Amino acid sequence: MGRVAGKAALITGAAGGLGQAMARMLVREGARVALSDLDLNGARALAETINAEHPGMAFAYEHDVTREDDWVRVVGAAVQDMGGLSILVNNAGIGGSLLWAEQDTLENWRKVQAVNLESVMLGCKHAMAPLRASGAGSIVNISSIAGLAAAPGMGVYNATKAAVWLYTKTVALECAKAGWNVRANSVHPVFIKTPILDPFIAMAGGDEANAHEKLARGIPLKRIGEPDDVAYCVLYLASDESKFVTGAEFKIDGGLTAQ
């Protein structure tokens, strides 16, 4: 208990599978959480559940991470409601269309780039001042194993997640060079059981177990991940336990990329 006691985290895409797991875990370990999502009802429902057990620890905001004005509003509100900001988790993201290069569209690329990549730049930009002011800031960018290894049909997802991987290092080095105590690291999960896998379940005719079994085939541990597998990594990076860790990438992949 208390690994992030007194800290204040903004988590984007907090109503989704990974966001919910991170939020619950950070609160269990003592942090206040600002839960932002396009899905305001989802963020509110999560905040209510958390506050029922830990009163006053969670706040919900409607947030389109592709919009700069939303970032300004949400960061301002989160800082005000929580009394500061020490952790930013850029978690909101969408899958691509699963189209191969020849069939893919500019519209699909621009949409996925805006949600998965431009949002990370906007978050780092607009949260930096309060993160610096906290005296010990941590940025955790949720990339993917798909940012380190390519797969057919994953073009724009691969490209955006690879860009998040390297951009995180740029931000880490800028903060270090400036002498700010703000760290930045990226997290790279393989398939984790959340709604983002729904297209794969649809491809398996709606048979979830079958889809998960297919997705697990290439993974040495022979299973796909649970949201808490990622949340534990975020907890470590958000805490001062990782105070000498910056510009690094963390693979949560059941051994996939060890092969």
Ligand X SMILES: NC(=O)c1ccc[n+]([C@@H]2O[C@H](COP(=O)([O-])OP(=O)(O)OC[C@H]3O[C@@H](n4cnc5c(N)ncnc54)[C@H](O)[C@@H]3O)[C@@H](O)[C@H]2O)c1
Interface residue with ligand X, options 78, 88, 115, 120 (CB under 6 A): 115
- Residue among 82, 8, 74 at smallest CA distance from 37: 74
- Using only the alpha carbons of the chain, give its radius of gyration: 17
Say whether residue 191 binds ligand X (CB under 6 A).
yes
Q: Is 179 left (phi over 0), alpha (psi -120 to 50) or beta?
A: left
CB-based contacts of 131: which residues, under 8 Å, 6+ apart?
85, 86, 88, 137, 138, 139, 182
Please report where in the chains the tokens 């491809």 appear, as a residue.
203
Residues 120-149 that bind ligand X (CB under 6 A): 142, 144
Packed helices 40-53 and 17-28: angle between N→C axes, nearest 10 degrees: 20
Please report where in the chains the tokens 């177990």 appear, as a residue.
209
Say whether residue 194 binds ligand X (CB under 6 A).
yes
The residue annotated as part of the active site, out of 157, 167, 232, 236, is 157
Interface residue with ligand X, options 8, 10, 27, 92 (CB under 6 A): 92
Interface residue with ligand X, options 76, 195, 220, 255 (CB under 6 A): 195
CA of residue 107 relative to chain centroid, distance: 23
- Least separation in angstroms between residue 108's CB and ligand X is 14
- Least separation in angstroms between residue 228's CB and ligand X is 12
Closer to ligand X at the Cβ: 8 or 122? 122
Say whether residue 229 binds ligand X (CB under 6 A).
no
Interface residue with ligand X, options 99, 121, 149, 196 (CB under 6 A): 196
Interface residue with ligand X, options 197, 201, 219, 256 (CB under 6 A): 197
CA atoms of 58 and 33, how far apart (whole Å): 5
Say whether residue 84 binds ligand X (CB under 6 A).
no
Exposure string over 196-214, b if 16+ CB within 10 A, otherwise e? bbeebbeebeeeeeebbeb
Residues 5-44 that bind ligand X (CB under 6 A): 12-13, 15-19, 37-39, 42
Using CB under 6 A, list all residues that contact ligand X.
Answer: 12-13, 15-19, 37-39, 42, 63-66, 91-94, 115, 142, 144, 189, 191-192, 194-197
Please list the active-site residues.
157
